Structure 1
Amino acid sequence: MKQIVTGIVAHVDAGKTTLSEALLYRAGTLRKLGRVDNGDAFLDSDDLEKRRGITIFSHQAALRYRDLDLTLLDTPGHVDFAAQAEQVLDVLDYAILVVSATDGIQGYTRTLWRLLARYQVPTVIFVNKMDAVTADRDQILSQLQTSLSAGCIPFDTQADGGLTADAVENVAMQDDQVLEAYLDQGTLSAVTIQDLIARRRVFPCYFGAALKLDGVDALLQGLHDWTRVPQVAPEFGARVFKISHDDKGERLTWLRLTGGTLRTKDVLLGEQKANQLRRYNGTKYTVTPAVSAGQVCAVPGLTGTTPGMGLGHAPAGPQPLIQPVLNYAVDPQAHDLQVVLAALRELEDEDPQLHVSWSSHLQELRVQLMGTVQLEVLQQLLHDRFHLDVAFDQGSILYRETVTAAVEGVGHFEPLRHYAEVHVLIQPTEPGSGITVATDCSLEVLGRNWQHQVVTNLQAKEQLGVLVGAPLTDVKLTLVGGRASIVHSVGGDFREATWRSVRQGLMMARQQGHAQLLEPWYRFRLEVGQEQIGRAMTDIQRMSGTFESPTTNATTGGATLTGVAPVAEMQDYSQEVYAYTHGQGQLECVVDGYRPCHNAEEVISDRAYEPTADLENTPDSVFCAHGAGYPVKWDQVPAMAHVPYVYTAEQLRALS
């Protein structure tokens, strides 16, 4: 039996859950075909999902087709829940990307495509809603090949039980070596085709209408024929991809085994044991004594597990790419904030991207979200699960900070009987790269243990910028120099010196004009009437956005505008669109990452952040003289440092 874990991903309303239902029905798992709009879909079992008609949480189902044992993970489709969808991608063998034939490739479809490429998930495409009058197979295929990959090739046209000659030739053309062999031999083996799919060179495309079960059998047969079981390690390993709570409030850790076998009572984390192993199918589960490599299970009762965590020999997954862009504060008048905090902590346990923060000094409770739909769902969860009616403020933008040129930061920590000095090179990196940490320091200059301390501390907390105190991003932090004392240095000294070196370097960057404030931007698609396109273009320019030349549709009389604009300016624009188009316009926005802030001076002035007053993130250092430690301001540290600068000004310019 071939075991495969497959996830279904799609833009909202593309028919993702409907396809899941159809696959389960045609495979014989379901006796009755459920529908999302009827509220009886097998995988949208949560009451909140039924009320809203969208998938909010990832769900698991199992089906068998011939000798294929398929674990199906259905993911949220709304852009506000992209982080939950991303959590699942890291444990998939294959993905099914659902594209609506009526809507084509949407902005969020492209986001999902980038995520699938990031996690290197082989992908099969199902073009849904082909029964619509406006559906055009050739047109949507051309769009797939142009916008996603030339390797998007129809696999649903068969000849003598296999692919047509045209399809085989198109498959071969996606790899030079395979093409050469194909021209010599005139054929391609199934193994070769499977390999090209697994290497993401070929993306089989199927067309149909899930609601009418059209094309579903062909997709099932394709999953059977063209997937292969990935190699697994002999020793135990597992990746956590989800945390949830069952209807009794018990905490569940969902994991995919990457190797070996997990048995009941095996030790998983610290001294915690897997006291029970559950295999879920929808809301129902069976208890099994063991789970083998490639399978998915839920383990109740564990604490301290988080999505992305590796267990056993499995490494941790990469840091998630999707990050929230809005910050909301809880209205302190509604409830006891400590009660609300406890509820939000439980929800944060399930979705770490909430980033719940509590300031005892300000008596302020905040969460980070993607948009208003997620906010509405959060409020409903607080009401349904915790009986709390919680109000939030209007929300504010989550800014980031970076540098535009390389700078060497110095941190020195030398109170009496303590000693550490650290030099960190801060370099700008590509947008969206986050923070990377490296070392370029001789062991003769700083011992291995101390270098390990520096690297660990660079990763130990969120580093903040010095413009508005926003998180630092898109930089490379490299240990390039330092000094320790054989007698007085301890690990805590290097923690202090490391953090101070980063902040001191950022202050230098600000002084030199190389500190930069970033804000989130939307990539938008705006559909209005042709008579309203002038108003729309004026609005986008007013919002500091840019757009491509508008396209018009002679049949519908509409016009489409695509481009980018700051989230701060566009987040409430949908209400304006609704008003001036009399409900006929449509605005789709997808977060397109961070870019330079369009009104940085205004934001910096309004925030009035004073980095030297942020004592938990001080850029100043501590030196010692006459048997006592004394503080030294950040701008005086380079002149007093015990280790000379590693880089000259010219070298720093060359590294920028």
Structure 2
Amino acid sequence: MSDKTILTIGILAHVDAGKTSITESLLHHSGTTTSLGSVDKGSAITDGLTMEKNRGISIKASSVNFSWEHRLFQLVDTPGHIDFSAEVDRSLSILDGVILVVSAKEGVQAHTLNLWESLIERKLPVIIFFNKIDRAGVDVERVFLDFQKDLGVQLFALNYPDVSHPDNPKLLSFTNCAHHINSTILDTSMENLAECDETFLSQYLEGEISNLEQVLEKGKQNIKTRALYGSLFGSAKLGLGIEELLNSITTLIPQPKSYYSTAAAKVFKVTFDKKKGRLAYIKSYGSRLKSKDFIRSQQLDKDIKINQIFKPHLGGLVQSSELHKGEIGIITTSDSILPGDILGSEDLKDQYSKISEAVLGVEVIPKDVKDYQKLGEALEILNVEDPILDFKWFKEEKEFHLKILGPIQTEVLKENLIQRWAVEAEFHKPKVIYKETPSKSAQGYVRYWMPKPCWAIMTFLIEPAPLGSGVSFTSNVRTSDISNKYLNEVKRAIPWSLKQGIHGYEVTDISITLIAGTEHTVHSNPGDFLLATPMGLLKGLENAGTDLLEPMYAFEIKANKDLLGPISTDLNQMNAQIDTPMFENYFFIIAGRVSVAAAMDYAIKFNATTSGKGRLKLTLDGYKKTTTTDDKIRSYKGVSPLDESQWILHMRGAFKADDRSSS
């Protein structure tokens, strides 16, 4: 192991901003590759999947290493399409810093805003790279100012783009920009520096800014403290700005915080390889890990054995005997570890907000009925690789159900199934996943005392709770009537008891109180209360009735003011709540709230209306009550606790139906 500092850098962007091209340029310029990989030609190292090569977009996060100025960089190239934002979330959890790529032509786009909110929440160091300055019609000053305004931050330009000759753009280092010192980009950078540096403020007011090396050094100091954000202009296509980017991430991204003295790692990705089996991508945060070591899996709550260790190398894997602190590696193990698992005893859990949540559900069916079993097994593997799919295999109904983020994701899943398993599948039209909440207060009584030995008698009070409050449980029963060991089984049963309510959706915003009950000194077993709790809760929900809650989007639209009329008409047709529009030069900005069901397909219409030049940002914004209609109601999957005799047989193992995923 060398003495190089190891930094894990993520490269993030809205789709088509050029981040994979920048990744290839960084690899080539650093001497890691001998030829420049191309997205268009399908030769990009970080786009290893056939689907990525065919589509020209990143679908899975990938890691490549390169060295620059005595530092080892582990560069994580992430997907740019919001349908794959779960992959970005998992990658963000292991980063030391970020390169945020913005197309100088399109400027700040919807997903740029989503990414920025996550970066700010995590307090990650960020370098902004304005790419594609060679594109016709680029307004470098406008994209610089718009970024500041739209994201509410202060930038400091580390170089200056001379696009006076569009066919031959040039870059000037900050210290060679004396002739452009009064330009909007540099003047704004100076103003921003003056606002956060009192010493420089007096120099700026007195016009003492001729020493650009000194100004640059002050700018870098404030970038390191995140008072300012460093920005660079360039073109990956022409190789412009790449060396400046390498130097900037080397000098402006601070060294990682201290690591742990014991073994500790985070699993941020899992894939399956035909020969190697389950591959878990991890980042080490502690002492050296070696093959054949045992380490605790917090998700599995047991020690697992590391069979082999690999390291990423130019799109492939090379075997290694050990993994050091700060390094990204890939381990094989016979245990079923999942993305998000923490290895070791340290608390490395990721508590930050997700970029996007899955609120759409699809049913998947095999085109050939003979592929039913094969399709189910393939979907189980895909669910391990991407747990946001929340795959459910309802064996009695022979149905497969997934949660998705958007339509592009279903197209990719289709291709994945064909390429990896030779299975053709059809995806039904996505449906909104509602939630349920009690309509009123009611009681649910359950008496499970036959056939003996068994005894669990309980009465639950079910009450509506405030919107967004989730699930609460209280017991008012004396421990002399039901002892704590049985109450613990009741608590354990509540979350999965509420996975399906009387309309087929997860129940939330509910207050549950156990108001009466008894155990039997001879006949009661812990399993009795585990079995009886869903029966009592579902009976209470049946007596109370439930209202449906529909997911809502908060939207923000920016488009040419000439389009305000048609866009307002669209929003009114979707029954959107609309705020007063604001006007800015040739554009209007309008925000509000709209249901996911109404806006599910609006992005396509919006892009057509604006010819792809508008910005539509949709962010999940909680739930609200909606009308309950037959087309929204789902049948209960599996054996319902309301069918008491069948439920008891099922839970006792005599009934073979399975209402949960087989995974």
Note whether the superposition's TM-score is higher than 0.5.
yes
Q: Does 2:568 align with 1:537?
A: yes
Paired residues for 1:177-576 under 5 Å: 193=222, 196-197=225-226, 202-226=228-252, 227-246=254-273, 248=275, 250-268=277-295, 269=297, 270=302, 272-315=304-347, 316-318=349-351, 321=354, 322-336=356-370, 337-402=372-437, 415=449, 417-419=454-456, 435=470, 453-459=489-495, 461=496, 463-464=498-499, 466=501, 468-473=503-508, 475=509, 487=521, 490-496=525-531, 499=534, 503=538, 510=545, 515-521=547-553, 523=555, 525=557, 530=562, 533-547=564-578, 564-573=593-602
Would the aligned equivalents of 2:29 and 2:242 in 1 still touch at CA under 8 Å? yes
**Partner amino acid for 1:239?**
K
Would the aligned equivalents of 1:404 and 1:516 in 2 still touch at CA under 8 Å? no
Q: Give the whole-Å Cα distance in 2 for the aligned partners of 1:484 and 1:6.
A: 58
- How far is the alpha carbon of 1:398 from its aligned partner? 1.7
Q: Give the whole-Å Cα distance in 2 for the aligned partners of 1:587 and 1:567.
A: 20
- How far is the alpha carbon of 1:291 from its aligned partner? 0.6
- How far is the alpha carbon of 1:526 from its aligned partner? 7.5
**Partner amino acid for 2:575?**
S
Q: How many residues are aligned here?
A: 589
Q: Give the whole-Å Cα distance in 2 for the aligned partners of 1:189 and 1:522.
A: 39
SS of 1:30's partner is coil
SS of 1:6's partner is strand
Paired residues for 1:600-611 under 5 Å: 600-601=626-627, 603-608=628-633
Would the aligned equivalents of 1:8 and 1:98 in 2 still touch at CA under 8 Å? yes
SS of 1:224's partner is helix
1:77 maps to which of 80, 88, 96? 80
Q: Does 2:125 align with 1:99?
A: no
**Partner amino acid for 2:629?**
I
Name 2:64's counterpart in structure 1: 61
Name 1:146's counterpart in structure 2: 149
Q: 1:225 to 1:573 in 2, by over 3 A?
A: closer
Would the aligned equivalents of 1:420 and 1:493 in 2 still touch at CA under 8 Å? no
**Partner amino acid for 1:540?**
L
Q: Alignment RMSD, CA only? A: 4.3
Name 2:181's counterpart in structure 1: none
**Partner amino acid for 1:543?**
M
Name 1:5's counterpart in structure 2: 8
Q: Give the whole-Å Cα distance in 2 for the aligned partners of 1:18 and 1:436.
A: 47
- How far is the alpha carbon of 1:57 from its aligned partner? 0.8
SS of 2:281's partner is strand
Would the aligned equivalents of 1:523 and 1:592 in 2 still touch at CA under 8 Å? yes
- How far is the alpha carbon of 1:342 from its aligned partner? 1.4
Q: 1:364 to 1:7 in 2, by over 3 A?
A: same
- How far is the alpha carbon of 1:75 from its aligned partner? 0.7
Q: 1:576 to 1:528 in 2, by over 3 A?
A: farther
**Partner amino acid for 1:565?**
V
Q: 1:420 to 1:604 in 2, by over 3 A?
A: same
Name 2:39's counterpart in structure 1: 36
Name 2:182's counterpart in structure 1: none
The one-character-per-residue Cα deviations of 1:389-446 (angstroms, maximum 9, x if unpaired) are 22222232222335799x7987766536534758789785775x8x577889999898
Q: 1:483 to 1:587 in 2, by over 3 A?
A: farther
- TM-score scaled by length of structure 1: 0.76
The one-character-per-residue Cα deviations of 1:21-71 (angstroms, maximum 9, x if unpaired) are 222222221222222122222211222111101001111111111122111
Would the aligned equivalents of 1:503 and 1:619 in 2 still touch at CA under 8 Å? no
Q: Give the whole-Å Cα distance in 2 for the aligned partners of 1:187 and 1:527.
A: 36
SS of 2:426's partner is coil
2:52 maps to which of 49, 53, 57? 49
Q: 1:48 to 1:610 in 2, by over 3 A?
A: closer
SS of 1:259's partner is coil
**Partner amino acid for 1:130?**
I
Q: Give the whole-Å Cα distance in 1 for the aligned partners of 2:87 and 2:45.
A: 19
**Partner amino acid for 1:62?**
N
Would the aligned equivalents of 1:87 and 1:320 in 2 still touch at CA under 8 Å? no
Q: 1:466 to 1:216 in 2, by over 3 A?
A: same
The one-character-per-residue Cα deviations of 1:505-554 (angstroms, maximum 9, x if unpaired) are 7567647xxx4512353736485893x65344323211223455668899
Q: 1:94 to 1:534 in 2, by over 3 A?
A: same
- How far is the alpha carbon of 1:592 from its aligned partner? 1.9
Q: Give the whole-Å Cα distance in 2 for the aligned partners of 1:70 and 1:103.
A: 29
The one-character-per-residue Cα deviations of 1:368-401 (angstroms, maximum 9, x if unpaired) are 2222211111111111111122222223222233
SS of 2:629's partner is helix
Name 2:201's counterpart in structure 1: none
Would the aligned equivalents of 1:11 and 1:108 in 2 still touch at CA under 8 Å? yes
Q: 1:368 to 1:127 in 2, by over 3 A?
A: same
Identity across matched positions, percent: 24
**Partner amino acid for 1:280?**
P
Q: Give the whole-Å Cα distance in 1 for the aligned partners of 2:515 and 2:7.
A: 48
Would the aligned equivalents of 1:402 and 1:518 in 2 still touch at CA under 8 Å? no
- TM-score scaled by length of structure 2: 0.75
Higher mean C-alpha displacement, 422-431 vs 393-402? 422-431
Would the aligned equivalents of 2:493 and 2:530 in 1 still touch at CA under 8 Å? yes
Q: 1:506 to 1:256 in 2, by over 3 A?
A: farther
Higher mean C-alpha displacement, 187-196 vs 101-110? 187-196
Q: 1:596 to 1:353 in 2, by over 3 A?
A: closer
The one-character-per-residue Cα deviations of 1:165-208 (angstroms, maximum 9, x if unpaired) are 756544559xxxxxxxxxxxx999999757734xxx65433333
Paired residues for 1:599-638 under 5 Å: 600-601=626-627, 603-608=628-633, 616-618=640-642
Q: 1:75 to 1:40 in 2, by over 3 A?
A: same
Would the aligned equivalents of 1:501 and 1:619 in 2 still touch at CA under 8 Å? no
Q: Does 2:131 align with 1:125?
A: no
Higher mean C-alpha displacement, 52-61 vs 123-132? 123-132
Name 1:650's counterpart in structure 2: none
Would the aligned equivalents of 2:503 and 2:634 in 1 still touch at CA under 8 Å? yes
Q: Give the whole-Å Cα distance in 1 for the aligned partners of 2:9 and 2:467.
A: 31
Q: 1:587 to 1:498 in 2, by over 3 A?
A: farther
Name 1:637's counterpart in structure 2: none
- How far is the alpha carbon of 1:12 from its aligned partner? 0.5
Q: Give the whole-Å Cα distance in 2 for the aligned partners of 1:156 and 1:502.
A: 64
Name 1:644's counterpart in structure 2: none
Would the aligned equivalents of 1:379 and 1:389 in 2 still touch at CA under 8 Å? yes
Higher mean C-alpha displacement, 494-503 vs 273-282? 494-503
The one-character-per-residue Cα deviations of 1:208-243 (angstroms, maximum 9, x if unpaired) are 323223333232222222222212111111111111
Q: 1:326 to 1:62 in 2, by over 3 A?
A: same
Name 1:18's counterpart in structure 2: 21
**Partner amino acid for 1:418?**
W
The one-character-per-residue Cα deviations of 1:573-631 (angstroms, maximum 9, x if unpaired) are 4665677x6x9456765542155468x32x433345688x996455999xxxxxxxxxx
